[in-house]
Amino acid sequence: MRILSLRLIVALVIGVTVVSVVSSWYQIRAEKEAFRRDLEQRAETFSETLANSAEYYLQTGDLPGLTKMLQRFGDRDYITGIGVYDRSFSPLIETRGIRSVLRGTPSAFTDAITKNQLSTTYSRVHFKRIYLLAVPLHAVNGDVSGGLIVVYDTAYIRSEIFRVWSRVFIHIVGMALIIAAITLLIVRWSLAGPIARSAAWMKSLRTGRHVIEPPTKDLDFLAPLAHEVAPLAESMLKARAAAEIEARLRNTNQSLWTPQRLAEHVRAKLDGNNLYVVSNREPYIHTRQGRSIAVTVPASGLVTAIEPILYACNGTWVAQGSGDADHDTVDSHDHLQVPPDDPHYTLRRVWISEEEEEGYYYGFANEGLWPLCHMAHTRPIFRVSDWEYYNRVNERFADALVEEIGQETSPVVLIQDYHFALLPRMVKDRVPGARIAIFWHIPWPNPEAFSICPWQQELLDGLLGADLIGFHVQAHCNNFLSTVDRVLEARVDWEHFSVRRGGHWSSVLPFPISVDLIETETDHTAQNGNSADDRSEIFQKLGIEATYLGVGVDRVDYTKGILERFQAVESFLENYPRYQGKFTFVQIGAPSRSHIPRYAEFQKEVEVEADRINERFKRDRWKPIVFLNRQHSHEEVRRYYRAAHLCMVTSLHDGMNLVAKEFIAARDDERGVLILSQFTGAARDLRDAIIVNPYDIRSSGDAIAQALEMSPGEIIDRMQRMRHFVKEHNIYWWAASLIGELGDLRLNRR
């Protein structure tokens, strides 16, 4: 209670002191400004009058008269001294005291002579505060012949301010003493006894003992809280037990996968071992916004899937620090507890230089491996320097990961994507007991295509350091196994889809990634109205008039089939002219890797193609294609999804393409048609989409007409089936499948 009293007193005294000081500071500053204005007004009036008289004496040559006049005024109204000077600042007449405050030619005098106008300045000379005013003096012909300087001592202003501050201090001390006395009385008479009795009662509830509840008059404002303590604690225990039982039942009965069920599943599979996730992109980025630091979460389904796993085991996520404020938010070991508002796991940041990022990420990963794995007819570029940077960065991540693992003998490591093909082998060599999985988020080409890479053996050997290698679809698994069979001395077990190399087995299995489908309970009629309203608002915001809306959402990447999509729209309008003036396709294109030459070229190609088609068809306030080349938030994209009659996903080659599943998840009104490329992994899952060959422009255009003319009943049936599949096979199902398979693997198979 003494600590409480002290805290109350200190808090109240500090609060009153701060408020009093701040308000007094503003008041005193206003008084100081008032003193200065008064001085400046009096000084200006006096100096102008004095200057007129000085000009008369100088023009008549009566220097004795001028001297007598200046001496008469030189020691009144805080005046330190007065001086008359020619243009070169040679003194003509000076009163006593002015030389003690002048050092060289004052800038105010120079300004007055040069600009032919009054000039003033505040300054300090030998700890003495002065106000100097200079006025130009004129000859008979009107030319500036010299100047008059008047110097005032402003110490009286400071003295007045000090007196005011003294009164404020006495006032604050008095209030602090009164507040301390009142607080002590209130704590002693009204709080100490009742709180002590309530605390004893709560302690008895916690320990299971029974005591009589304290009378409500002891502490009226705390009584309702005290009445709820016991039932609240009991309710929480029951809810926790029920949640654990429900999670186990859901896990047993194979119900829908949720974050809670995933967490329970992971706890069982990890069996007390720690989990380490490695990815190039970090789940939380710190950036500077003015003087503050903001936290952003990148748009990534991976964060959605992985976080519940790390929550369940208090794991560690190792990733590149990419934000300009990332260095300022980690500790001495480059650690950060995340999420920031409710920490559950550790983020370990790894630092790479701009030169290393240029070679490892933009060079080898995205100018080499990306086009190599995507059959999109862009020539991969392989440079020795990029390969060296790729090795170096993989080695740095291996160092960081092994450092985090420490002395653990059986950690579980989940590595993400093509940026870390060498990492599994590096970690396996150092921590043989680690269970390692790598998920390859992009396609794997056939052996002939992959043989282009000069370092194919090193990449394959690095990947085969993992115990589990995951792809989106079985076809990519088959391509990988065929590549290993052709390139390396290894045993490929086609029956079990595994590879044995150097006594180590690696399973190669498909795990089609998905999204988190969010259900709503809004009735369909209201949803349809909202979709129509959203569509009208979108058209109004875009400044166009149209009836039908199509949408595409992609990074501006040459693998996404954006040019072919635009040409399909053109073919559709050619062959179905009744839709001219009615159908508009909006392409949301997030800028991507724009300083890589091929991406910069493709960006320009997309813009030129959109302009060409618009120029051909546009009329009045309608145009067929709107290209929105900027980053959009989840909320903005979801609004376009819900408003669109159709969504086109026409990738030329893609591992999965989650845009298709995001569109399905957004359509809780069970409307909208998905046009999907046969060259995406999603085409294997979403059979009720209109499947197209994006290279067949005419057929893709016909698919747009088919989507717009499809009956409402067929649209609903197709969407219901696709939504059911995505709900059953959501992002949590993907993560559970991956971790479950890794946990079930036997590391020492013979």
Does residue 479 sit in the same domain as residue 340?
yes
Q: Which residues pair with 470 in a beta bridge?
A: 439, 509
Closest by Cα among 316, 310, 206 to 259: 310
Q: How confident is the model at residue 520 (pLDDT cuts 50, 70, 90)?
A: very low
Domain boundary, last residue among 510, 537, 554: 510
Q: Are residue 610 and residue 480 in the same domain, yes or no?
A: no
- pLDDT at position 224 is 54
pLDDT per position as a tens digit, 293-324? 999 887 666 787 788 888 888 899 999 999 99
25, part of any domain: yes
Smallest Cα–Cα separation from 673: which of 710, 721, 637, 636? 710
Task: Give pLDDT, residue 746.
Answer: 73
The CATH number linked to 466 is 3.40.50.2000
548 and 610 in a common domain: yes
Q: Is the pLDDT of residue 523 over 80?
A: no
Structure token pair of residue 130: 């002065």
* Model pLDDT for residues 432-460, shown as the tens digit of each residue: 999 999 999 999 999 999 999 999 999 99
Number of domain units in the chain: 3
What's the pLDDT tens digit per position in 41-60? 888 888 888 898 888 888 88
Domain span at residue 720? 524-728
Examine the domain organization and report whether 504 and 539 are in the same domain: no
Q: What is the pLDDT of residue 297?
A: 83
**pTM of this structure:** 0.67
**Is residue 263 a part of any domain in this protein?**
no
Distance, C-alpha 15 to centroid of its chain:
35
Is the model's pLDDT at 748 over the cut of 60? no
Same domain membership, residue 499 and residue 559: no
607 domain-assigned: yes
User: Same structural domain for residues 535 and 488?
Assistant: no
pLDDT of the residue at 299: 67
Mind spelling out the 3-state secondary structure of 41-89?
HHHHHHHHHHHHHHHHHHHHCCHHHHHHHHHHHCCCCCEEEEEEEECCC
Instruction: State residue 238's pLDDT score.
Output: 40
Instruction: Answer yes or no: is 222 within a domain.
Output: no
Cβ atoms of 315 and 338 within 8 Å: the answer is no
Separation CA 181–CA 5 (nearest Å)? 11
Please determine, for residue 233, whether its predicted confidence score (pLDDT) is greater than 50: no
Q: Helix or strand or coil: residue 252?
A: helix
Secondary structure of 522-571 as H, E, C letters: CCHHHHHHHHHHHHHHHHHHHCCCCCEEEEEEEECCCCCCHHHHHHHHHH
User: Is 558 found in the same domain as 445?
Assistant: no
- Residue 6: inside a domain: yes
Last residue of a domain, one of 159, 194, 222: 159
Q: Which residue has the tokens 């086609």?
A: 494
Within this chain, do residues 483 and 540 fall inside the same structural domain, yes or no?
no
Compute the distance between CA of residue 552 and CA of residue 704 in angstroms, rounded to an integer: 13
703 pLDDT above the threshold of 90: yes
Q: Return the pLDDT at 526.
A: 39
645 and 618 fall within a common domain: yes
Domain boundary among 125, 159, 193: 159
Helix, strand, or coil (residue 470): strand
Residues linked to residue 436 through DSSP beta bridges, in sequence order: 413
Output the pLDDT for position 250. Answer: 54
Burial of 149 (0-12, 13-18, 19+ CB in 10 A): buried
Residue 8 lies inside a defined structural domain of this protein: yes
Q: Is residue 223 part of a domain?
A: no
Residue at 689 is within a domain: yes
Q: How far apart are CA 619 and CA 171, in angstroms?
A: 76
Please give the mean pLDDT across all residues of the chain. 87
Same domain, 491 and 572: no
Same-domain status, 548 and 451:
no
Q: Are residues 153 and 130 in contact, defined by beta-carbon separation less than 8 angstroms?
A: yes
User: Do residues 424 and 341 share a domain?
Assistant: yes
CA angle 574, 576, 577 (to 5 degrees): 70
Instruction: Indicate the residue type of 389.
Output: Y
Indicate if the pLDDT at residue 227 is higher than 60: no
Domain of 88: which CATH number? 3.30.450.20
